[in-house]
Structure 1
Amino acid sequence: MARSDRLLRLLQAMRVMPAPITAQRLAEETGVSLRSLYRDIDSLRAAGARIEGERGYGYRLIEDFALPPQTLTRAEIEALVLGLSEVRGMGDKALADAARSALAKISATLPDEAEQQVLHAVSLVYRPEPRTVGVDLETLREAAWRERAVEIAYVDQHGAESERTIWPLALVYTERTLSVLAWCCFRQDFRIFRGDRMRAARVTGDSFRPRRVPLLRDYLARLEARDSA
């Protein structure tokens, strides 16, 4: 790993891990020896990062030179914490990890008082029953971004099993379910497939680029026409 990449990884680890963080824990997280870790801490300090602590006591990132300072109102902080808490409760591990990382980066750019407001926000989200999904959502999300067809094994509400080839357009998160809005190649129409009814998903080599955005526009136009009728 290049040294610059290692330093960025160390910074991110200090953003997201509860402080104070021992040197041993940071070394394990970044995959370096303790000797290299101490040198990396010194390099970050020399570059402008305010890092409190010393060998044997643990470290805390006070000011992050890599991110510009942010000025947010208390209401804006509440909105961010609430929104990212909702993302963490969606049942999508990749997005949950991204939400934690994003909040850590934002917190690192805030003054001390505002950072405390993040840590002790009034508004939180709690979901005792997270959404269940039968397949890897990252596979579907990547297929949608790259506009690749996906073969799925699906069980409908009556228990009937089928295999479909779909063009994934968007992931749809509702109160109780997570679904995929797609163009069904068999039906030649839009369909919504529930994530908990998918048994398998395999990305094929077939591309539907550049159809995704036009198809999404068509679908939204259908919804508007239906709602205005």
Structure 2
Amino acid sequence: MRLLEALRRLPKPVTAMRLAAETEISTRQLYRDIATLRAGGVLIDGTAGYGYTLTEDPALPPQSFSRLEIEALMLGIASLGDFGDTALATAGRNALARIVATLPDRQARQAAHATMRSWRPPEPRAAITIDLALLREACWDEFSVRIAYRDANERMTEREILPLGLSYSPRTLMLVAWCLLREAHRTFEVPRIVAIERGGHSFRPRRVRLLRDYVALRTAEWKAKAPTA
């Protein structure tokens, strides 16, 4: 499975040395694994000394997209790197590799030579020091977290929150949450969270409702501030 993943993800053709390094096996074992995959029906073009290309992957169903849809996928995944979240950007590239592996040959070539690119002038971003994986897991699985937070005035507070969602921008990463201390919605700059640990409360299935309430609250505030005609 690691070998198939590498063949989907890495630029083609992929040398045996690169594949062996990615999958942490010897080149001798790699040649045996290539032979095993081929015997199982996976179509892998190429030879030792030249490189390998995965031309048909039976583990994935065939997909078909328009040229504009392919450009949208390539552009969207590439823009993840602008947010400075390395794990999310890597996950996006891996997912895109699996999608491209299911495309017909003509569409796969379109993906390899997409005409649209994402670029923004580099902006300074505050470093994130907490475990983002824990924060994402708390949002997905709907459990509380306890955080130590340094606000814009450098005051430290500790509180338990229900994390509802993350908001990405080129400048910073924001967390929308329900604060158990204040019993109200709050937003936190993730780089200002200096410590995080799992809390003791589950709020399933309240996340969607709490997030919907937050959006309604902010929408009402924006409408109230909007100039009238």
Q: Deviations over 1:141-193 (max 9, x none)?
A: 01111222111121212222222211111011134221100011111100000
Indicate conservation of the 8 Å contact 2:176/2:188, yes or no: yes
Partners in 1 of 2:184 and 2:173 — Cα distance? 20
Residue number in structure 2 paired with 1:129? 123
* Matched letter for residue 45 of structure 1: R
Moved over 4 A (4+): none
**What is the aligned counterpart of 2:165 among 157, 170, 184?**
170
Identity among equivalent pairs (%): 53
Q: Does 1:156 align with 2:156?
A: no
* SS of residue matched to 1:89: helix
Query: Alpha-carbon deviation of 1:70?
Result: 1.8
* Matched letter for residue 141 of structure 1: R
Partners in 2 of 1:204 and 1:17 — Cα distance? 39
Indicate conservation of the 8 Å contact 2:163/2:176, yes or no: yes
Indicate conservation of the 8 Å contact 2:83/2:168, yes or no: yes
Q: Which runs of 5+ in 2 are unaligned?
A: 225-229
CA-based RMSD: 2.0
Indicate conservation of the 8 Å contact 1:51/1:62, yes or no: yes
Residue number in structure 2 paired with 1:146? 141
Residue number in structure 2 paired with 1:16? 9
Q: Which runs of 5+ in 1 are unaligned?
A: 1-7
Q: 92-101 or 104-113: which moved more?
A: 104-113
* Matched letter for residue 22 of structure 2: E
Partners in 2 of 1:175 and 1:59 — Cα distance? 37
Q: Does 1:204 align with 2:204?
A: no
Q: Does 1:54 align with 2:47?
A: yes
Residue number in structure 2 paired with 1:215? 210
Q: Does 1:84 align with 2:77?
A: yes
* Matched letter for residue 129 of structure 1: E
Partners in 1 of 2:71 and 2:22 — Cα distance? 30
